[in-house]
Chains A and B, each alone.
Chain A
């Protein structure tokens, strides 16, 4: 796989990159667009491995998140404050709730959004995509030991968030 061109490996990893970017951005449509940009951007490049592809994906995701943060700040400043009070309260008043599929989907995504970007990246790439700690370490520019620590804290946070929403984890 290490002798594969950047474009080819990105295509092989397209689904994984899409799912990672969906976890990172919380938006499937944005994740698709970013994945498409990545595939086109990496095409014709030299040799690439999973770490390089996911690093490029993360950079695109972070750029989008930064733009979103700036846009939201602008929108909040312009919004009527009374509208903010109309936002629905988070679900948390239903104890002993079973892991219903629809609830779990929503709550797991919400819990994931509570993680730091780095924790989200570590959790998704190791837990869902099965990347080795060494590859994730290369994506984030940290040591494999730090990846292990981040993973532990990400899981603890996720479990706490899910419990807060009434799930038995």
Chain B
């Protein structure tokens, strides 16, 4: 086995990609060779450090993600209300009801899609990043 193959096997072992029998064989070989054991220990240290640094933080960012989603949906609702108002005014001006004016503007809390996720609490993400 070349050094490159051994390192690929080491990665597969740490990533849980080896079958149980292969993993046991790898552990046996590594335990019997101080240099391989040293390399495995160093690689584990890198993994711990990488997880500590790159694995921290959440998408929520102290609730900014949810707030931004609401804000964005709020603009949609506002735009829909503005269009509706214009159409209503236009219908009053001409004396004839506008067919589009019969459409009810969706309330912010009734936005389909993501807002339902929000209402169900599934989009409430952990903060603290």
Which residue of the partner chain, among B12, B72, B125, contacts A14 with CB atoms under 8 Å? B125
| CB within 8 Å: A-B pair count | 112
Chain A residues, CB < 8 A from B60? 14-15
Interface residues of A in 23-46 (CB under 8 A from B): 23, 28, 31-32, 35-36, 39-40, 43-44
Residue A54 CB within 8 A of the other chain: no
Contact of A15 among B45, B64, B125 (CB under 8 A): B125
Residue pair B47, A28 in contact (C-beta under 8 Å): no
Question: When the two chains form the complex, which single residue of B4, B49, B114 contacts A39, counting CB atoms closer than 8 Å?
Answer: B114
Judge if A165 is at the interface, Cβ distance under 8 Å: no
Residue of B nearest to A154 (CB): B11
Q: How far is the CB of B64 from chain A (nearest CB, A)?
A: 7
A104 CB contact (under 8 Å) in B4, B49, B113? B49
Q: How large is the interface on B (under 10, 10 to 19, 20 to 34, 35 or more residues)?
A: 35 or more
Contact of B54 among A11, A32, A40, A108 (CB under 8 A): A108
B59 touches A32 (CB 8 A): yes
Bound complex: CA A132 to CA B113 (Å): 30
Known pairs A40-B72, A128-B54, A148-B11; A155 contacts B43 (CB<8 A)? yes
CB interface residues, A 71-110, toward B, < 8 Å: 99, 104-105, 108-109
Q: Is there a chain A Cβ closer than 8 Å to B53's Cβ? A: yes
Determine the distance from Cα of A32 to Cα of B49 in the docked complex, in whole angstroms. Answer: 23
Q: Are A7 and B65 interface neighbours, CB within 8 A?
A: no
The 8 closest A-B pairs by CB, nearest first: A18-B59, A14-B59, A15-B58, A152-B8, A35-B59, A151-B11, A128-B55, A43-B113
Instruction: Give 29 A-B contacts (CB < 8 Å), ordered by A residue.
Output: A11-B117, A11-B123, A14-B59, A14-B65, A15-B57, A15-B126, A32-B59, A32-B61, A32-B65, A36-B59, A36-B65, A36-B68, A40-B69, A43-B114, A44-B112, A99-B45, A108-B49, A108-B50, A112-B54, A126-B15, A128-B50, A128-B54, A148-B12, A149-B8, A151-B11, A155-B11, A159-B42, A159-B46, A162-B46
Additional pairs, 20, CB under 8 Å, beyond known A7-B113, A148-B11, A152-B8: A11-B122, A11-B125, A14-B58, A14-B59, A15-B126, A19-B55, A19-B56, A28-B129, A32-B61, A40-B114, A43-B114, A44-B112, A108-B49, A109-B53, A126-B11, A127-B51, A133-B15, A155-B43, A158-B46, A169-B42
